[in-house]
Amino acid sequence: MSEDRYVIIKNAKGASLDVPVKFTETMIKEMQDLYIRNLLRVCNALKVTKITPNSINVIDRWTHNPYVDYDDESMFYKLGKSCMDNGMQWLFIVNNGEVHEGVHRLMGLRELVAKGEYTEEELTFPALDITNDKFTHPVEIEFFKFRRDFVKVGRYGLKTRSLFYNEFTTCQRNFMSQSAMMKYIYYEWEQKYGESFPQPELIMKYDKLMEAIKCQQEEETETKKQQ
């Protein structure tokens, strides 16, 4: 059995950590799995739509990602290529026809269309539509006790807690609490191993996501029958 690969986070959010934090491949997969569990629950209670790079508006280039180099003129192109070659980390989120989460990825994909490497139709992705953010039923959101604080990982490990929510707005902070943290982890992984950490296919493909949502609905129905 191969040894569990890992990365060590020494710097985050512009500061050095007194005690570097180690994330193994198994831990990273568990973090991904938690995000996917939450994502499927939220998608099951809201609208999922298809988008293409130029089908929605982009009004804000701001990002959590500390490694975006705005001085690199080919930055967006490189990001678009990375999305297509390695997959995307998070599902697009749209609100009133504007991108709410995934601005830089969308701009990167637009570059691929502009350069003629893909047609608009070839770049079709699923997106969570939060224009009407009311859930059809209460949704359980799980989150790690350390939230976004790397320092607390040593204290809590991957212990979680959960809360129920009735709309996306109030759950957004906990739903996306690990995304900023994961950007550091993914970056360090690529720097150390020269490859991107494998991403869930359903983030890229609408049919895959809808299939996963259907499977979750069937599991929930079966669980209720057994209760």
Instruction: Note the pLDDT tens digit of each residue in 80-111.
Output: 999 999 999 999 999 999 999 899 899 999 99
pLDDT score of 184 more than 60: yes
**Sign of the C-alpha dihedral computed for residues 41, 81, 14 and 24 taken in this order:** positive
Instruction: Note the pLDDT tens digit of each residue in 157-178.
Output: 999 999 999 999 999 999 998 8
Residue 131, Cβ neighbours under 10 Å: how many? 13
For the chain, the residue count is 227
H-run or E-run covering 142: strand 134-144
Average pLDDT over residues 172-191: 89
- Asked if residues 187 and 67 have their Cβ atoms less than 8 Å apart, the reply is yes
pTM of the model: 0.90
Confidence grade of residue 1 (pLDDT, cut at 50, 70, 90): very low
In the numeric block, the tokens 């570059």 are attached to 111
Instruction: Note the pLDDT tens digit of each residue in 11-28.
Output: 876 667 788 899 999 999
**Which DSSP symbol is given to 10?**
E
pLDDT at residue 67 in the model: 65
Q: Name the phi and psi angles at 36, rounded to 5.
A: -65, -40
d(CA 8, CA 10): 6
Domain regions of the chain by residue span? 1-46+133-196, 47-132
pLDDT at residue 217 in the model: 81
pLDDT score of 61 more than 70: no
Instruction: Decide which of 125 and 227 is more confident.
Output: 125
Both tokens of residue 217? 């609905």
Residue 134, Cβ neighbours under 10 Å: how many? 11
pLDDT at residue 132 in the model: 96
| The CA-based dihedral angle spanning residues 28, 31, 37, 38, taken in that order and rounded to the nearest 10 degrees | -140
pLDDT score of 64 more than 60: no
**Which DSSP symbol is given to 144?**
E
pLDDT at residue 62 in the model: 61
Both tokens of residue 11? 């710097």
Average pLDDT over residues 200-214: 95
pLDDT at residue 63 in the model: 60
Q: What is the mean pLDDT of the chain?
A: 90
pLDDT at residue 2 in the model: 58
C-alpha angle 158-197-73 in degrees, rounded to nearest 5: 125
